[in-house]
Amino acid sequence: MHTVTIHEAKTHLSRLIKETLRGEEVVIAKGKTPLVRLTPLPGALPERRLDGCKGLVASISEDFDAPLSDFDDYMA
């Protein structure tokens, strides 16, 4: 949880919105008294993308998603 004062919230609103959309909880306080929580609306969360991993995996084997024999006891 990240707590900021009303003044900080007014000054850094864009940054606080981005933090909230990333899943961080932001609370706005008057002095030391928490007043409100900033939360995203349903459907407002951005899709998580894995573009940063592009090109890191050369290939995936054909049996990548095949059951592992280590778990045979659990599957019975």
Structural domain harbouring 10: 1-42
Task: For the full predicted model, state whether its pTM sits above 0.85.
Answer: no
Tell me the pLDDT band of 53, cut-offs 50, 70 and 90.
low
Q: Is residue 73 part of a domain?
A: no
Domain membership flag for residue 3: yes
**Local confidence band at 72 (pLDDT 50, 70, 90 cut-offs):** confident
Residue 53 maps to a domain: no
Q: Domain for residue 57, yes or no?
A: no
> Rounded to whole angstroms, how far apart are CA atoms 20 and 26?
6
CATH classification at residue 6:
3.40.1620.10
Residue 38, token pair as written in the block: 């900033």
Q: How confident is the model at residue 3 (pLDDT cuts 50, 70, 90)?
A: very high
Is 76 a member of any domain?
Answer: no
Q: Is 90 exceeded by the pLDDT of residue 38?
A: yes
Which conformational region is residue 5 in: left (phi greater than 0), alpha (psi within -120 to 50 degrees), or beta? beta
Structural domain tally of the chain?
1
Within-domain flag for 72: no
